Amino acid sequence: MSFTANIKDEISKHVMTQAENIACLSAIIRNSAKYSAEDIEISSENSNVTKTIYLFLKDIYKVNAEIITKKITTFKHHNIYILKIKDKVRTILEDLSVIDEKGNYLDMPKEYIASSNDEAKAYLKGAFLSKGSINDPKTSRYHLELVIDQKYEAVFIQRLLNQFLLNSKILMRDNKYMIYIKDSEKIGDFLRIINATNAVLYYENVKIIREQKNMTNRLNNCEQANIDKIIATCNSQIKDIETITSSLGMDLLDEKTKEACIYRLKYPETSLQELSEIMSLETNNSITKSGLNHRFRKIREMAKKIEGSSH
């Protein structure tokens, strides 16, 4: 089962107040129902979501609904669950703020549907049950989306999301409106808003593991870059020493510079810090990294002069 399906399974089982159930049901019917004067049809790929809608309708409006299961065989085999309501159709659609008193579709639900924070959260839960998905953080990038058919409905849902500081955005895609969130922290906040407790625990755990892995990779990359830099520096210093010795020999060098050359050739891949520590230990004379660096600058200058005079 996908991460999204697990979330929908979890949140469809929550017990809410009747006002919250109405807000949730309003979002579901406004976004995933087909209706006429005779009936309402609500489709879902999740059996638990279908059962929840059935119970909401039975509890609030005292109607019995028919559940039809269809097998879909294109691309991937799965079931579609269709809920059919034939009683109190007009009452339900008006009460859930899908249509007005004259039967006209409402671009946005009336204020009472999501007037409190809890009702707004319930509406977002219904919208997610209908049209939402979240990428599994273990297998893909962080991404939450709700694909909405109607422009003003998308704007309404975006406003509710941003009421909770989720920084959602809308993008038009294939004549539909995709509301999306890419920030991992905000997606975690959304899961908390819809009370997907188990999903939050899974999401945050995977996020921590991913961040630790990314940090390890960054440190490894940084360490490798430092190693590459050290090797390049060592090779450059050895080249300078070879230029000097092939032209002048080492006997003309002062003792400190000669000593730096000998130890660099003896330890060709050590960093400047490590080389200064080795020299201090083996010669019994303290030499700092800064002091050793000064000697190699002198060697570089001598090598440059030799190279210049040979052209």
Greater pLDDT, 234 or 73 = 234
pLDDT tier at 207, thresholds 50, 70, 90: confident
Greater pLDDT, 79 or 89 = 89
**Span 106-131, pLDDT tens digits:** 999 999 999 999 999 999 999 999 99
Helix (H, G, I), strand (E, B) or coil at 42: strand
Spatial separation of the C-alpha atoms in residues 283 and 209, rounded to whole Å: 48
**Span 94-104, pLDDT tens digits:** 999 999 999 99
**Span 17-27, pLDDT tens digits:** 999 999 999 99
Residues 213-236 have a mean pLDDT of 84
Spatial separation of the C-alpha atoms in residues 10 and 3, rounded to whole Å: 11
User: Of 118, 211, 147, whose CA–CA distance to 4 is shortest?
Assistant: 147
Q: What is the dihedral of CA 103, 109, 110, 114, to 10 degrees?
A: 150
pLDDT at 311 over 60: no
pLDDT value of position 230: 86
pLDDT tier at 77, thresholds 50, 70, 90: low
pLDDT at 282 over 80: yes
The domains found in the chain, sorted by start residue, are: 3-195 (3.10.28.10), 217-309 (no CATH)
User: Of 310, 311, 296, whose CA–CA distance to 240 is shortest?
Assistant: 296
Spatial separation of the C-alpha atoms in residues 30 and 148, rounded to whole Å: 10
pLDDT value of position 74: 65
pLDDT value of position 269: 84
pLDDT tier at 183, thresholds 50, 70, 90: very high
Residues 39-51 have a mean pLDDT of 90
**Span 233-268, pLDDT tens digits:** 889 989 988 888 888 888 778 888 888 888 888 888
Q: Do 43 and 32 touch, CB atoms closer than 8 A? A: yes
pLDDT value of position 245: 86
**Span 145-169, pLDDT tens digits:** 999 999 999 999 999 999 999 999 9
pLDDT value of position 281: 87
Average pLDDT of the chain to the nearest whole number: 89
